[in-house]
Structure 1
Amino acid sequence: MNSKIDTIIFDLGGVLVDWNPQYLYEKIFSTQEEIDWFLNNVCTPDWNIEQDAGRTIAEANTIKIKEFPKYSNEIKLFYDRWEEMFSGPIHKSVEIQQKLLKSPNYRVYALTNWSAETWDRGRNLFPFLNDFEGVIVSGQEKMRKPYDEIYQLIINRFNITPENSVFIDDNYENTVAATKNGINSIHFKTSEKLLIDLQKLNVII
């Protein structure tokens, strides 16, 4: 990790925006126990990530409603009221993103696991998502992190030199995969820690 960093690649959810289905379903269910059961058994992370990989929302809903017909309305709300799953931007991270974008020393991209059908909704909700020099959206490409092919895609599409780049993600598994593909990585925990980790790589903000 001693190479000169010239490219910064951001994950989005959990790094620049705070997304959690909990925020929506606490408005729907009356107890935390109900919320936890629903998100652990019905609209699970494994179900959601298939939309990030390219499955349509209509197909996803059909599959899950067939499995849990009692919860058909609550299942549909996952995407009907998807915007309510955000608490807002992670402001200090967005400040870092904006400063890097203004620097002549760095190219700044995003690599996100995100449904193709909600991407435009997200960009409307958070205009700073439009500021990147380029974005790889997993649902549009029908491939997702942490599989090698999506890292190779961003490297090739934007002519990135892996050893001169750094990838920031709150999911540790995704950072391990980036490292495997030759990209320096930072496991995001807080914006303050991110600033320190970037400074260790001699990234000037």
Structure 2
Amino acid sequence: MTHEVRHIVFDIGKVLVHYDPTIPFKRVIPDDEKRAWFLSEVCSHAWNHEQDRGRPWAEAEAEAIARHPEEAENIRAFRANWHEMVPYAYDDSVALLKVLVEKGHDITMLTNFAPDTFAECRARYPFLESSRGITVSGEVGLVKPDREIFEHHVATFGLEPAATLFIDDTAVNVEGAKLAGWQAVRFTDAETLRRDLAERGIAV
């Protein structure tokens, strides 16, 4: 039996704010094949994940440059051009968030983000201040989908896992939340999320 949802937790990247590292790199590395190689092998998701865990950018750049010294300039371009990777918010998702807050639902956020880039994102998108609070992976040294970050979020905000609904765009993070005893749905678009919420008795 599904528990009543009393807490709603939003991911941020690709749920509320667009994120795409290829945006600046279409300019930095115009060649499609090389750009794809660079973002999969040099400044890869796994490499960036360690910044989400809290690794400083200087250390991250040094590690990547040690592997690919010929790519030093392009490696440094990742952080230097990061602001271009989060160009806009998803207005329809943000509208749902705001309605949920206005209706008095308990809203928090849980995101994989480096501390410094999240500070930039937070300053650019004021709606990120609308929830009761945010767990930022790089600030706590834990990352999704590991169980520990879900448990940390529960302890920080006094949530009941079985009564908590997590919204994330990444399947492995959705599964991580479920393994931690949460309810969870994978975000694809705002209209689908609206239906997912309605199925749990939450009208927006």
* TMscore range, shorter length: over 0.9
CA positional deviation for 1:110: 0.4
Q: Equivalent residue for 1:112?
A: 111
Q: Equivalent residue for 1:185?
A: 184
CA positional deviation for 1:3: 2.0
CA positional deviation for 1:175: 0.7
CA positional deviation for 1:87: 3.1
TM-score normalised according to structure 1 size: 0.96
CA positional deviation for 1:37: 1.1
CA positional deviation for 1:26: 0.7
**Residue pair 1:116, 1:139 contacting (<8 A) in 2 also:** yes
Q: Equivalent residue for 1:199?
A: 198
Gaps of 5+ in 1: none
TM-score normalised according to structure 2 size: 0.97
Aligned-pair identity (%): 32
Superimposed CA distance per residue, residues 103-147 of structure 1 (whole angstroms, 9 cap, x where no aligned partner): 12x110000000012111111121211221110000000010111
**Residue pair 1:113, 1:138 contacting (<8 A) in 2 also:** yes
Tell me how far apart the structure 1 counterparts of residues 9 and 121 of structure 2 sit (CA, whole Å).
18
State whether structure 2 residue 84 is matched by structure 1 residue 84: yes
**Residue pair 1:169, 1:175 contacting (<8 A) in 2 also:** yes
Tell me how far apart the structure 1 counterparts of residues 130 and 80 of structure 2 sit (CA, whole Å).
26
Counterparts in 2 of 1:77-156, with a 5 A limit?
Answer: 77-104=77-104, 106-156=105-155
**Residue pair 1:57, 1:117 contacting (<8 A) in 2 also:** no
Superimposed CA distance per residue, residues 167-198 of structure 1 (whole angstroms, 9 cap, x where no aligned partner): 00011111111111111000111111111111
The amino acid of 2:33's aligned partner reads: E
Tell me how far apart the structure 1 counterparts of residues 147 and 4 of structure 2 sit (CA, whole Å).
23
Superimposed CA distance per residue, residues 90-110 of structure 1 (whole angstroms, 9 cap, x where no aligned partner): 111111111111112x11000
Tell me how far apart the structure 1 counterparts of residues 34 and 45 of structure 2 sit (CA, whole Å).
16
User: Aligned residues, how many?
Assistant: 204
Q: Equivalent residue for 1:173?
A: 172
**4+ residue runs over 3 A deviation:** none
Gaps of 5+ in 2: none
Tell me how far apart the structure 2 counterparts of residues 123 and 113 of structure 1 sit (CA, whole Å).
13
Indicate the RMSD between aligned Cα atoms, in angstroms: 1.1
SS at match of 2:18: strand
State whether structure 2 residue 64 is matched by structure 1 residue 64: yes
